[in-house]
Structure 1
Amino acid sequence: MLLRGAGSGAGALSHNAWRENHVGTIESESGSFFERIDEHRYRPTAHSGGAWDPDELHFSPLGGLIVHAIDRHRAGHADAGLALSRISFDILGRLANDVCEVAVAVLRPGRTIELLEATLSIGGRPVIRARAWLLATLDTSAVAGGGDAPLPAPDNLDSWPLSSVWPAGGVVDSVDIRPVGTPQTGRTTAWITTDVELVAGEAVSPLAGYVTLVDLANGIATRQPPSEWMYPNVDLTIHLHRQPAGRWVGLDTTVVFGPSGQGITSSVLHDLSGPIGHAHQMLTVRPLTPPQS
């Protein structure tokens, strides 16, 4: 979710296949979250609006935009088929609804392990800093195992309007959410997808499309009404043991509030073939209207 009032098949194959076919445009009748201005700058659309304040951006598509920028950086640099295996986002301040600029740099080059850093700035001020570990890929199918069972497929599940919980927001209105069972307080398992493009007219990797929706985990398993309480996340960390495929994001999510203003949203991440990793978000929990002294 956005930050407000908190100080304010195999990975290498999927990425390389996207890189080799990263040409042309994709037409969409549903619009996009961003429009490209130049090599590093993007203009947000109404679809990117936040859930608590329309003048702020929802973090979720910004996470996807950063992965897209990392993909474009990698497309211009040989990386020996590495797979992005962990990405952590720190939200540094208010996500104003304005032009976004993304810069990517290599912090730790390597043939089998590499560390990248991406910084997203709004109005010349860094507001998100992300670090991504890229790891070598090789065939470990003989020893693969240990993940959760796959989720029931979304095809026969009913859609659940997120607007029944969240009163507003471009992102809220842009997604199709299909719960597996009835959503519970602080506990929901659901599939999420969208017809909205990440960047208008641009192909994106399966990972960038997937990350575009992961941050919604904090909005599908609410513990308190967002009209009365705020619980924005100050970060998002994603660990992957397998690269995602397809347009559906599966979130098996639990939200915990502690007794002193902190909370954690934890999710097992799925695609249609089964689990792919985990995501965690640190929350700052506070009443929407501070108590009167």
Structure 2
Amino acid sequence: MLRSMYSGISGLRGFQTKLDVIGNNIANVNTVGFKKGRVMFQDILSQNVQGAGAPTAGGKGGTNPTQIGLGASIASIDTVFSAGSPMTTNLPTDLSIEGDGFFMVSPDEGATIYYTRAGNFTRDAEGYLVNSQGMKLMNTDPAAIQISQNDGVVSYSIGKDGVITTVDETGALDSTNTIGVMTFNNPGGLKKIGNNLYENTVNAGANDGDPMTPVTPADAKVSIIAGQLEMSNVDLSEEFTEMIVAQRGFQANSRIITTSDTVLEELVNLKR
């Protein structure tokens, strides 16, 4: 069977995957804190028809190897952690991180930790800062952050250093709560688990090697901006351009298969 047909099939599979990733990016163009994906290709092992030849002293020069490529495959599907555009909401519990870092949220008081760039938090009935799945935002202890009126709190504010300052009914200030953040040497090593959440992996490289212990925004060299959300980093013009490239690549590989089929048909019809 012609090698070109199998090469064309590998190209179809690759560009189909690329279109899947582009479609997911476009679907999440308005998702808070979403980070787009990109597909990288690599060639498949080539078939050696003839090996390289070394030059001979006073004789012939060297010859290069003769190889036939066998198609393409997916090298990686990367998550691009460039910053998304900020959107001002003026809601005190909407938070964004300016710099490389992640909020830490937990469904079970810190026993399990997930990471997110989506800062659309709200206060629940008990005063805890929670995301849309009810997971609680962690401070630097780490423990769930609670701003409860039952404790006499009448107002609060969140500074760029992540410090939450509360004012009680007597006018006394309290600044003992600080939002915890986590940084990673390789954010691309995090695993997406849906709902704008990431999970630590062995290749993420958590700060100080401990993915459970947050640091202050000052130590992480980031700023917490209250009243603002980080939106998706998807650029529609770029995605539609990549879609056109993927579509043409898919069509070109389809043409390879149909051309190979025509050649095979001619071979079959040689003897009639």
Q: TM-score, normalised by structure 1?
A: 0.22
- The structure with the greater share of residues assigned to strand is 1
Structure with higher RCO (Cα < 8 A, 6+ apart) = 2
- The structure with the greater share of residues assigned to helix is 2
Rg larger in structure: 2
